[in-house]
Amino acid sequence: MPILCKPAVDVPENIVTLDDTLRLASRLHADHPRLDLALRLIRNTGVLKRHTILPLEETLRHPGFEQRNLAYEHHAKLRVPAVVERALKNAELDVSEIDVIIYVSCTGFMMPSLTAWMINSMGFRQDTRQIPIAQLGCAAGGAAINRAHDFCTAHAGANALIVSCEFCSMCYQPTDDDIGTLLSNGLFGDAVSAAVVRGQGGTGMRLERNGSYLIPDTEDWISYAVKETGFHFQLDKRVPGTMEPLAPVLRKLVGEHGWDASGLDFYVIHAGGPRILDDLCRFLDVEPQAFQHSRATLTEYGNIASSVVLEALRRQFEAGGLRSADTGIIAGFGPGITAEMSVGSWVVDPKNEVAGDRDRSGPVPVSWSSAVSSTRTKERA
């Protein structure tokens, strides 16, 4: 069965703290009749800092949709390669061994997809398949894992590369001041992540079952209004309550695999906000500590959209402690309202002494080291 290997994650060098966010909201929306509520909601997110590709003052200026999208493309090409190379190194594979690239992003648009540029610029085979996914929002991280699982199952021995590129700051709209938007302005951050699903071998999560579920009649609860100024994020106040109908779906999927969703050994859950995590803990009857890596991701990076599940999984690798046959689930939630879920067990490659060992294979390959160092990005193995 396919193995999901240790992800690589990169967050940009520009930091926006909770205090920065509160001061900014107070200054820009001083006359807002519900400012106190917005500030309280931002504090309650639990997000202490976020990272952005541009400095805060630059982010606040809106040069237009065209310039925003050009910034997205520039930073994607600048930041993706080193993360991909780390993910390949974590999986002990070369670019020539990748059979499909699954690229997910909801914060910018390119056609052809960045996958075409990657194949031409990074040494991937010319017959590498391309699967760009652009409209699943935060659920796309889970969807990418599921599509990689499907591909590697259908093509025995094939290897899939997942890439998530989310620059949520490029969706900041200074003229939008509804409560949902003000909350979102204090919640989302930027990140690039990548992971390899190996058809054979490796240490990580063995992907054994996956599923998808859409809550009926919730299409407008998380959405974009596409205007001349770009993507305007729209968030319905009912979204935090979606774990009540989704928890039974997770229970059912895990139960179909013969396991109990309340008794798994690890949980990698999309950190859309603290209530999402708290409610799912309650409905699944697990301790809050079970979602510790998702909570840490939210606190340190904010909601980084489709990259959340890969970053939370990276933290699980770093924490170690899992043994072969330990059971777990990955779940991503996003527009639709959609849930993308993967169930599987931990596998330790016999070549590795301890599950979750840190990468010991040396520095980033030199082909992209100069470009990456110029961004002064904070790379994660």
pLDDT digits (tens, 9 = 90+) for 238-288: 998 999 999 999 999 999 999 999 999 999 999 888 999 999 999 999 999
Is 63 in the same domain as 178?
Answer: yes
Is 209 in the same domain as 293?
Answer: yes
Query: How would residue 309 be classed by pLDDT, with cut points 50, 70 and 90?
Result: very high
Cα separation of 160 and 286, whole Å? 32
Cα separation of 213 and 29, whole Å? 38
Query: Which residues are registered as beta bridge partners of 195?
Result: 162
Is 149 in the same domain as 212?
Answer: no
Cα separation of 135 and 224, whole Å? 10
Cα separation of 190 and 193, whole Å? 10
Element spanning 334, H or E: strand 327-334
Average pLDDT, the chain: 90
Is 219 in the same domain as 191?
Answer: no
Greatest pairwise CA separation for the chain in angstroms? 62
CATH of the domain at 192: 3.40.47.10
DSSP state of 303: B
pLDDT value at residue 177: 85
Pairing of strands 204-218, 3-4: antiparallel
Tell me the pTM: 0.90
| Residue 150 domain flag | yes
Q: Is the pLDDT of residue 333 over 90?
A: yes
Among the candidates 201, 218, 235, a domain finishes at 201
Q: Identify the CA nearest to 164 among candidates 239, 270, 249, 254.
A: 270
Give whole-number Cα distances, 375 to 23, 80, 94, 170, 285, in Å.
27, 11, 24, 17, 43
User: Within 13 A of 242's CA, how many CA atoms are on the CB side?
Assistant: 28
Element spanning 280, H or E: helix 274-284
The percentage of residues in the chain with a pLDDT greater than 90, rounded to a whole number, is: 78
Is 154 in the same domain as 27?
Answer: yes
Cis peptide before 215 (omega within 30 of 0): no
Give the number of domains in the chain: 2
pLDDT in tens, 114-166: 999 999 999 999 999 999 999 999 999 999 999 999 999 999 999 999 999 99
pLDDT in tens, 163-187: 999 999 999 998 888 888 888 888 9
pLDDT value at residue 145: 98
| Residue 375 domain flag | no
Query: How would residue 352 be classed by pLDDT, with cut points 50, 70 and 90?
Result: low
Name the active-site residue from 106, 138, 165, 168: 138
Is 71 in the same domain as 88?
Answer: yes
Q: Are 102 and 162 within 8 A, CB to CB?
A: yes
Cα separation of 19 and 21, whole Å? 5
Q: Are 268 and 331 within 8 A, CB to CB?
A: yes
Known catalytic membership, residue 168: no
Please give the average per-residue pLDDT across 346-362, as a whole number. Answer: 57
Among the candidates 149, 167, 201, a domain finishes at 201
Q: Are 63 and 72 within 8 A, CB to CB?
A: no
pLDDT value at residue 135: 93
Is 9 in the same domain as 143?
Answer: yes
Range of the domain at 341: 204-347
